[in-house]
Copies of this chain bind each other. A is one copy, B any other.
Amino acid sequence: MNDQSTLSDIHFILHEVLKAPVHLQALPAFAEVDADLMHQVLDEAGKFVGEVIAPLSRTGDEVGCQFANGQVTTPPGFKEAYQAFWQAGWPSLACVPEDGGQGLPGVLEAVLYEMLSGANHGWTMAPGLLHGAYECIKHHASDALKALYLEKVATGEWLATMCLTEPQAGSDLGLVRTKAVPQADGSYRLNGTKIFISGGEHDLTDNIVHLVLARLPDAPPGPKGLSLFLAPKFMPDGSRNTVYCERIEEKMGLHGSATCVMRFDEATGWIVGEPGRGLSAMFVMMNSARLHVGLQGIGLLEAAWQKADAYAKERRQMRAPGRGTSTAEADPIIEHPAMQRILDTQRAWIDAGRVLAYKTALELDVIKHHPDSARKAEAERWCSLVTPVLKAAWTEQAFKGSSECLQVFGGHGYVREWGIEQIVRDSRVAMIYEGTNEIQAIDLLVRKVLADGGAGLMALLQTLSDAQTDHNALNRLFKTQMTALCDLTRKLVAACATDKALGYWVADDYLRAVALTLLAWAWTHIEQVAMVAEDARWIRPADALQHWVLPEFAMRVQIIAARLP
């Protein structure tokens, strides 16, 4: 991501559409953060990403991480880039100064990670878990553990992992079997096998800090029997802990990130938080982690769009309809309707995704720092409801939309040369990890909307609607969808009271309906600012949204309505 137009788009959404500096200055922690500072940080970030990280993406894919004798070698250049990254202070952007951080808002970190993911998804997996680990240690670890690990993780000098999944326990972490046995010195002995551990082993940093879900000897079965432990690769005395990488997975993409099978073989660890509270200690940063996966989707789709847009402007094939008078042998394919449609549709998703994701990041800053509890509750409502939608709908669009961008290249899209097929392969994983998209849909509908009779979602939509002042076509569309969605929600709540399976059958459609309503809302927001200028940059995706994207809303409503009694 070194494209100036992308950065100016990002600034436009942050400053003009969302008025981020105004919102941040209401938080005492960020009273000093103004538009200039935000510009400066993001311009620097864009430069670093474009110059240092993006050029490593193709090597990351082609060479990939290599495994031999328990060691993982990252692709050429990855280690140097990571050392430059942490030494420049990027991992600690949003950590507080007393932990060695820079005390900047999380929204800046969110934009940084969007840019990093689009430039080099594989490399970005390495620091991607750092902030979550930092929050987890900060809020749950003992003072002794914090003294050893908090600053190292805050600054990124040491990288961290989340060791959750086991061969028999994926979406269902209640099935985790790794055992933790207490020792006389207050430590625990960990035994078990964890799979799909991103960065479980590598050569990027001197030490690796593993956060591990495991079960105490007397723990009950299921999720409530899980506790969280910290187990470093190297012990404080420098000796090697007995946690080993057994192999790394051969994957569809994301070759720049080692996905490890980790064996804990009487490994030493220390408990983080209360026994039996392991899941809640990890889930404290769930909204932030899911937001970041949604941002990966946005970043990857932007990268795919950039490539396809540039290609479509250069490549000439056939005469475009209505271009009979050109003297050239053929017209640029961007003038062919099928190609324009693909490109503008992706822009509609990317631009709206940024509005929603940056707003979510701002609301996470509010949750952390706002003095007023009512305002915090409102922010919590937004994050709780919008995050699963962002995660699921924007990772799905990253995969499907980057595949459409591949189509713009014709046969050239299927070969490595243009880098577009790598984006399709890399992006596919984001629909799976951090809770599959199906789990996100169940989280939204069954665990959140049905749980409060739809009150939270309807109140949120009402707030969005009340804030609308314009009355153009897009506003009317948003209000129509919002009304239909509230009506559907009421009926669904009633029907699910007697039919417990119903919510599970239509959760995916419901999440899509919410996503399409938020998409419409985000564009009314953009339109209020941008349309004044009658700028084709914004008008074309807004048209694409109305013509090609939003009609799905009625289909989703129809699918759900047909299942109602």
Q: Mark A390-431, 1 if CB is under 8 A from B, else 0.
A: 000000000110010011001111111100010011001101
Q: How many monomers of this chain does the complex have?
A: 2
A165-B411 in contact given A424-B428, A554-B555 (Cβ < 8 Å): yes
Contact B554 A317 (CB under 8 A): no
Which residue from B317, B339, B505 sits with its C-beta under 8 Å from A337? B505
Query: Please, which residue of chain B has its CB at the minimum distance from the CB of A507?
Result: B338
State the CA gap A170–B407 with chains docked (Å).
Answer: 13
Query: Please, which residue of chain B has its CB at the minimum distance from the CB of A249?
Result: B415
CB of A76 within 8 A of chain B?
A: no
Contact A410 B171 (CB under 8 A): yes
State the CA gap A89–B505 with chains docked (Å).
Answer: 49
CB of A99 within 8 A of chain B?
A: no
Which residue from B221, B336, B400, B414 sits with its C-beta under 8 Å from A504? B336
Contact A410 B547 (CB under 8 A): no
Tell me the smallest distance from the CB of A38 to a CB of chain B, in Å.
Answer: 36
State the CA gap A407–B428 with chains docked (Å).
Answer: 9
Q: Which residues of B contact A501 (CB under 8 A)?
A: 321-322, 337
CB of A73 within 8 A of chain B?
A: no
State the CA gap A425–B406 with chains docked (Å).
Answer: 12
State the CA gap A441–B336 with chains docked (Å).
Answer: 13
| Interface size grouping (class) on chain A | 35 or more
Stretch touching chain B among A285-293, A296-304, A452-460, A556-564: A556-564
Query: Please, which residue of chain B has its CB at the minimum distance from the CB of A557?
Result: B551
Which residue from B251, B431, B507, B552 sits with its C-beta under 8 Å from A416? B251
Please classify the interface of chain A as helix (H, G, I), strand (E, B), loop, or mixed, using the class held by over half of its residues. helix
A338-B438 in contact given A329-B221, A414-B251, A425-B425 (Cβ < 8 Å): yes
Contact A338 B500 (CB under 8 A): no
Q: Which residues of B contact A249 (CB under 8 A)?
A: 414-417
CB of A305 within 8 A of chain B?
A: no
Which residue from B259, B330, B336 sits with its C-beta under 8 Å from A175? B330
Query: Please, which residue of chain B has its CB at the minimum distance from the CB of A333?
Result: B171
State the CA gap A153–B505 with chains docked (Å).
Answer: 52
Q: Which residues of A contact B (CB under 8 A)?
A: 165, 168-172, 174-175, 195-196, 221, 249-254, 259, 316-318, 321-322, 329-330, 336-339, 341, 399-400, 403, 406-407, 410-417, 421, 424-425, 428-429, 431-433, 436-438, 441-442, 500-501, 503-505, 507-508, 547-548, 551-552, 554-555, 558-559, 562-563
